[in-house]
């Protein structure tokens, strides 16, 4: 097997090769690190590479196999971590200049669980300052480029995670999602991005445990690999009240694409009322619906009105950011981008009453989505309204959709992702084809609250029917 083929082999297959001694952890790590070092100058998807530490761990993993010691489910498999998520002994910068020398004393719960199963960290992937945007750029490291077209954004805020995964650098990536930050780059880069139900993966760094709408998430190239990561990362933890008492699932078993979707009712919607969508996305979404129908699903449209969620999300999210980051900006004004400072400043106009009204609206959205699931097993919609934006796109500029310009990038590019951060329902972005610009497109499927296993089952069936995971970017 060539090094490139090895780097694009799913983690589910690598696990079997490693544990059967058909592949050595050192051989795998050598290929992965060589690819990372070759592509980093091209993509700029890492803030930190931990090559020396990763090779030392690979040698220990090889010795464990030779000695016949007990092995974890991910023994010897490389993974990356978004630089918002704490890693013991490895810098975690949050994409911010003021934290460039921050080195956590312990791993986040999600990272610790992957390492406990034998996975090996190879580096920290890029993120905009504190995950604050849908494009991955920062004064600390610059722009992260899309492996399908270097003049396009990798999306954000987990753009480094998705770009590295799509480029075949490592099969597993820890990302985060506060408004679409896993699913947006997954769609841009043609990979799988899951935002699980609230609490399924404990979030050990959330400051507002009860009002939290951010998630630590998996990003992979296949649904089976997502299930493998979820199996390792999921489970109750005292640090996250939403995780306590959740029922355990065998996500790996559930993600096997057995059977079909007969008996499943899918409600679908192309775009919320008043939001445009590109012709490529509309045509791709129609083809994706045909695939779901061919698998036996019953399809029915749902009402697109009443889903203008961006103002609600922004009132909540930006107020949280202001509480967390305004003192930092005041102390170090020259260390932050104008885009970040403008977002922090915008929350100053949100009153306490308006914030609470937004929280009431969030509760109403949950009830509305729950109402859809009274007769639906799944919801379906495009992840994005168009393919990856230009690399230099301004968050506060206008967005081009089929030659027309629209203000408010968030509301017009990803109107469907923020909704499910606020309601807590599981949502997954799957590769669903390519536009006329040869850029990946994404389908978002949404499951019942805490119905992550059933969502993975449906996602695996769609993936098997389309085989978009077999495509590789032209690097």
- 3-state helix, strand, coil split of the chain in percent (to 5) is 40, 15, 40
Burial class, 349, CB count within 10 angstroms (exposed 0-12 / middle 13-18 / buried 19+) = exposed
For 257-292, write each residue's pLDDT tens digit. Answer: 989 999 999 999 999 999 999 999 999 999 999 999
Q: Which residues contact 300 (CB under 8 A, 6 or more apart)?
A: 265, 266, 267, 268
Residue 278 tokens read as 């590109």
Rg of the chain on CA atoms, in Å: 21
Q: Which residues pair with 265 in a beta bridge?
A: 298
pLDDT at position 268, please?
98
For 33-91, write each residue's pLDDT tens digit. Answer: 999 999 999 999 999 999 999 999 999 999 999 999 999 999 999 999 999 999 999 99
Residues with catalytic roles: 82, 157, 181
- Per-residue pLDDT band at 475 (split at 50, 70, 90): confident
For 283-297, write each residue's pLDDT tens digit. Answer: 999 999 999 999 999
Domain 3-470 homologous superfamily, CATH? Amidase signature (AS) domain (3.90.1300.10)
- Per-residue pLDDT band at 469 (split at 50, 70, 90): confident
| Contact criterion met (CB below 8 Å) for 209 and 241 | yes
For 82-134, write each residue's pLDDT tens digit. Answer: 999 999 999 999 999 999 999 999 999 999 999 999 999 999 999 999 999 99
| Contact criterion met (CB below 8 Å) for 111 and 87 | yes
């Amino acid at each position: 097997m060539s090094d490139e083929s090895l780097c694009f082999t799913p983690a589910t297959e690598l696990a079997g090769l490693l544990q059967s001694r058909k592949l050595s952890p050192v051989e795998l790590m050598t290929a992965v690190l060589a690819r990372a070092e070759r592509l980093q100058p091209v993509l700029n998807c890492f803030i930190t590479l931990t090559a020396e530490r990763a090779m030392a761990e690979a040698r220990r993993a090889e010795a464990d196999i030779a000695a016949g010691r007990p092995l974890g489910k991910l023994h010897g498999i490389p993974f990356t971590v978004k630089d918002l998520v704490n890693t013991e002994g490895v810098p975690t910068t949050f994409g911010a200049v003021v934290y460039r020398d921050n080195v956590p004393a312990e791993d986040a719960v999600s990272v610790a669980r992957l390492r406990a199963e034998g996975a090996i960290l190879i580096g920290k992937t890029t993120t905009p300052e504190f995950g604050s945007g849908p494009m991955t750029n920062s004064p600390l490291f610059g722009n992260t480029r899309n492996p399908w077209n270097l003049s396009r954004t990798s999306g954000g805020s987990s753009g480094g995670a998705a770009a590295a995964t799509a480029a075949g650098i490592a099969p597993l990536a820890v990302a985060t999602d506060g408004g679409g930050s896993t699913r947006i780059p997954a769609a841009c880069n043609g990979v799988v991005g899951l935002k699980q139900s609230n609490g399924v993966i404990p979030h050990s760094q959330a400051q507002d445990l009860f009002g939290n709408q951010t998630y630590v998430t998996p990003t992979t190239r296949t649904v089976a690999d997502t299930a493998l990561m979820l199996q390792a990362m999921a489970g109750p933890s005292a640090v996250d009240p939403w995780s306590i008492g959740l029922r355990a699932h065998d996500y790996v078993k559930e993600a096997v694409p057995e059977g079909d979707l007969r008996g499943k009712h899918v409600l679908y919607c192309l775009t919320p009322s008043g939001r445009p969508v590109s012709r490529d996305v509309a045509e791709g979404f129609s083809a994706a619906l045909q695939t779901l129908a061919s698998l036996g699903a019953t399809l029915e449209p749902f009402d697109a009105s009443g889903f203008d969620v961006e103002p609600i999300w922004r009132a909540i999210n930006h107020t949280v950011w202001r509480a967390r980051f305004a003192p930092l900006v005041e102390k170090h004004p020259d260390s932050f981008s104008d885009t970040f400072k403008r977002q922090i400043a915008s929350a100053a106009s949100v009153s306490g009453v308006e914030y609470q009204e937004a929280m009431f609206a969030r509760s109403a959205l949950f009830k509305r989505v729950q109402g859809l699931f009274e007769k639906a097993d799944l919801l379906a919609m495009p992840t994005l309204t168009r393919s990856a934006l230009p690399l230099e796109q301004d968050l506060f500029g206008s967005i081009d959709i089929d030659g027309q310009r629209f203000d408010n990038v968030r509301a017009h590019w990803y109107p469907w992702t923020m909704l499910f951060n606020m309601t807590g329902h599981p949502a997954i972005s799957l590769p669903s084809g390519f536009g006329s610009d040869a850029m990946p497109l994404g389908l978002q499927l949404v499951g019942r609250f805490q119905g992550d296993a059933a969502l993975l089952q449906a996602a695996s069936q769609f993936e098997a029917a389309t085989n978009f995971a077999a495509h590789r970017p032209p690097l």
